[in-house]
Chain A
Amino acid sequence: MIYKILKQNINFSQIIGFLLTSILGIGILLLSLTLFKDISPLFNQKSIFGNDILVVSKKVNLLGTLSGKAVSISPREYEDLKRQSFVKDIAFFKPVSFKVQATLEVQGMNGFQTEMFLEAIPKKFIDVYAEDWKWAEHSDFLPVIIPRNYLTLYNFGFAQSQGLPQVSENTIKNVSFNIRAYGNGMVHNYKSKIVGFSDKINSILVPETFIMYANHKYGRGEVKPSRVVIETENLADPAIATYFKGKNYAINEDILKGGKSSYFLKVSIGAVSTIGLVITVLGLFLLLLSFTVFLYKSKDKLRNLLLLGYSYKQLSHPFQFAVIFLNTLALLASVVLTLIVRDSVIDLLNKALSIEASSNYMLWILAPALLIVICSISFITIHISMKNVLKP
């Protein structure tokens, strides 16, 4: 009956306007938030063994080459790096300070021999798990990790062009060779094997304990370090690019590029979410404005009903019902819209970035939560407007 009385004051075009705005706004909001969830694996790509690793070195310039001075990272620079927000942990690369020769024995004879160098970083920074990654004084076995791209270079460059056989990682791991350390009038042969291949550390690594021991025994003690390894939680962190920009450091740009593109994606989706939120708020504002205008237009009728004995509560019910009904309608339409559009967007993302749709639970939590928030705001506004309209 109350509806019948108030019906002629309802402006249906305003309601349709609200519905369209709300469906659009909530749709964009839900879509961007669920997509954000879908692509979130991109932002948090971590290596299997923990956080991301970034290798930083000083840039080599012509002056340095001519002067013959090695570029190194000073303690002050090290401390400055350490203070950055994106640095979870940091360590110097420890290079050998003595001569190293690797010899591959073929049938008991020295078949292949090369000068080489070794470096060490703390175990936690190494992205390879190797069980025998340890060395203790008097141990004759020295495990080695090489960059995986060395093997690739050999297999697809050297081996193919020189007619040599290609080898698998497992084959290489089974090849024993000798590492000869010499200096200060001493020499020692270590049995060695490659125990792993690193994707992130571009160096030939041996356990840190070996370098510390051997540098003192065969070498000139500690060498000025020129590279550091940084553990960071998120390579997409824009602070990384910002910090290194314009500084005289060389970093692996490729690693950061992935981070940058996912950062860009993140910002884009953030912007879209914001637009969705703004439209939703505007839609809600339109609804509340319509209700307020409607209440003022119906002021006399509502006042008559109040004087007839209807309570505020009873008079608010039709409005509250309308708010719940309209918003539920808008939300359901938005959810359907979101599911449809998301499917095609995920299809595209899948082709470009191999992203799979995550589960819909985010949508099922977000949608009712949004409905509760919107209805609560509406109820409060209706309550306040009703009080103002019906004030004696």
Chain B
Amino acid sequence: MNIQFKDVFPNVFSDLTLEESEIWKNILLFEKGRKYLVQAESGGGKSSLLAYIYGERNDYQGIIEFDLDNIRNYKNGKWSDIRNRKLSIVFQGLRLFGEISALENIQLKNKLTGFKTEAEIISFLDQLEIGDKINKKAGTLSFGQRQKVAIVRALCQPYDFLLLDEPFSHLDERNRKLVAEIITQEVDLQNAGLIITTLSVENYFEGIQKLKL
């Protein structure tokens, strides 16, 4: 699945010219198998961009197409299907459930897709150095640890695109590299596309196309 943007921009930006943006009010194709780094300052619409693609919001002008199919017409059932098989996301706010454990949060997704075994999930958590936290309630973990849990949860499904909304914001340099390594490995394994938004200009992925929002 490829994602086509045609003159898309958020409703709130309708008064702005957005001349410098490579995404808003432009024709742009996100291709499966390629990686994109969307860099912008705060308030540039990074989260909006991913929310539009993920069907969470539709307060935009223009057309977004999945394989030439306008997503504005998609019904709830279609979106459920897409969120199980085509698109996976790590929200900026993570959207974890604080009252259940880290592992249960991940299983909440994995039980829906049956994509990974529990052993694989635990292995991911071990690699990310939070293997000892699997039975801790997510609400008790630090934001950085929760970011790692949310990333592992996002990997527990088949997808054509993995959307990451500032996934490294609370991670140190070493952990960023650790996480980027696992993400690259998983995305490449599925031959999926990657769209990652970030405030900084630092990059942890090879061959990534940088886009200015």
B interface with A by C-beta (< 8 Å): 54-58, 76-77, 80, 83-84, 89, 91, 95, 97, 99-100, 104, 107-109, 111-113, 157
Question: Which of B58, B107, B112, B157 has the largest number of chain A CB atoms within 10 A?
Answer: B112
A271 CB, min distance to chain B CBs, angstroms: 46
Stretch of A34-42, A197-205, A209-217, A308-316 contacting B (4+ beta carbons < 8 Å) = A308-316
What are some 14 contacts across the A-B interface (CB < 8 A)?
Answer: A1-B100, A1-B108, A4-B99, A4-B100, A4-B104, A5-B99, A304-B95, A306-B80, A308-B83, A309-B84, A309-B112, A310-B112, A311-B76, A311-B80
- Whether the Cβ atoms of B112 and A307 lie closer than 8 Å is no
- Whether the Cβ atoms of B80 and A309 lie closer than 8 Å is yes
- Whether the Cβ atoms of B97 and A304 lie closer than 8 Å is yes
B129 CB, min distance to chain A CBs, angstroms: 25
Contact with B along A276-313 (1 / 0, CB 8 A): 00000000000000000000000001001111111110
Q: Which 7 A-B pairs have the closest CB atoms?
A: A309-B83, A311-B80, A309-B84, A304-B95, A5-B97, A309-B112, A312-B76
A392 interface contact, C-beta 8 A: yes
5 new A-B contacts at CB < 8 Å, known A1-B100, A309-B157: A7-B99, A306-B80, A307-B89, A310-B80, A310-B112
Contact with B along A356-392 (1 / 0, CB 8 A): 0000000000000000000000000000000000001
A67 interface contact, C-beta 8 A: no
Contact with B along A7-34 (1 / 0, CB 8 A): 1100000000000000000000000000
Contact of A311 among B55, B77, B97, B113 (CB under 8 A): B77
- Whether the Cβ atoms of A392 and B109 lie closer than 8 Å is no
Q: How far is the CA of A222 from the CA of B200 in the complex (A)?
A: 118
- Whether the Cβ atoms of A307 and B83 lie closer than 8 Å is yes
Q: How far is the CA of A306 from the CA of B56 in the complex (A)?
A: 10
| Contact status of A307 and B54, CB under 8 A, knowing A5-B97, A8-B99, A312-B76 | yes
> Which chain A residues lie closer than 8 Å to B80 at the CB level?
306, 309-312
- Whether the Cβ atoms of B113 and A309 lie closer than 8 Å is yes
Q: How far is the CA of A311 from the CA of B77 in the complex (A)?
A: 6
> Which chain B residues lie closer than 8 Å to A311 at the CB level?
76-77, 80
> Which chain B residues lie closer than 8 Å to A312 at the CB level?
76-77, 80
- Whether the Cβ atoms of B97 and A392 lie closer than 8 Å is no
- Whether the Cβ atoms of A5 and B57 lie closer than 8 Å is no
